[in-house]
């Protein structure tokens, strides 16, 4: 029996006509090569698809990790925002209390200023009354001194002798005013009309 090599590596026995007919019905070597090429292409396509799926899975895993990180960051931001909102509420409450305190202090200051103004006004009026009373008490004395000074100046101008009694008996202003109101006596009658003798200037 003769063995004939086959392209697929199988040995075919050729001892009968049936065997020869079976060999003649098998695919030709060209078809087998095309089938192998098709399988290689399909295998390459499968390999490429697997690589694409692996890359896609890797991208999905990275996207998942990134999403988890973003979720974590979002939770942190939410926590920080809630803390800031609580702090803002607390600060607003403190600000409200501070404004109330400022309003109270302003009201107290206003009342204190009003009371101080009234006190200053009372002190001013009291001081004015005191000064007026003191001035009224001092005016007669000042007037009396001025009257006496004017009387002496008048005597000196008239060159009345120093030996005359008018130098020592200067009438008081009150007495002069009362006497002039009752009986008016001219000043010329109380003075000697005779021209005085020349006096020594040193006596003045």
Range name among 32-36, 53-57, 68-72 with the lowest pLDDT average: 32-36
Q: What is the pTM of this model?
A: 0.31
Burial classification of residue 48, based on how many CB atoms lie within 10 Å of its CB (0-12 exposed, 13-18 middle, 19 or more buried): exposed
Task: Assess if residue 88 is contained within a domain.
Answer: yes
Checking if the pLDDT of 65 tops 80, the result is: yes
Q: What domain range includes position 47?
A: 32-135
Task: Assess if residue 68 is contained within a domain.
Answer: yes
Residue 154 has a pLDDT of 85
pLDDT bracket for residue 14 (50, 70, 90) = very low
Count of structural domains within the chain: 1
Those residues with Cβ within 8 angstroms of residue 174's Cβ, 6 or more apart along the chain or in another chain: 140
Task: Assess if residue 152 is contained within a domain.
Answer: no
Task: Assess if residue 106 is contained within a domain.
Answer: yes
Task: Assess if residue 87 is contained within a domain.
Answer: yes
End-to-end CA distance of the chain: 193
């Amino acid at each position: 029996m003769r063995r004939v090599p086959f392209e697929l590596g199988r040995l075919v026995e050729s001892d009968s006509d049936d065997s020869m007919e079976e060999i003649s019905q098998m695919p030709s070597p060209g078809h087998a090569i095309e089938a192998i090429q098709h399988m290689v292409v399909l295998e390459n396509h499968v390999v490429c698809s697997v690589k694409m799926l692996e890359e896609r899975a890797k991208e999905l895993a990275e996207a998942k990790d990134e999403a988890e990180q973003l979720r974590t960051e979002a939770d942190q931001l939410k926590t920080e925002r809630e803390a800031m909102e609580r702090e803002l509420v607390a600060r607003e409450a403190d600000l409200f209390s501070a404004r109330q305190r400022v309003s109270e202090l302003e009201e107290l200051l206003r009342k204190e200023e009003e009371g101080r103004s009234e006190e200053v006004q009372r002190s001013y009026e009291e001081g004015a009354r005191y000064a007026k009373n003191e001035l009224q008490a001092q005016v007669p004395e000042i007037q009396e001194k001025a009257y006496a000074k004017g009387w002496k100046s008048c005597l000196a101008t008239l060159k009345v002798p120093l030996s005359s009694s008018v130098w020592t008996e200067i009438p008081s202003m009150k007495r002069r005013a009362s006497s002039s109101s009752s009986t008016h006596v001219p000043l010329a009658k109380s003075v000697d009309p005779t021209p005085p003798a020349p006096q020594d200037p040193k006596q003045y």
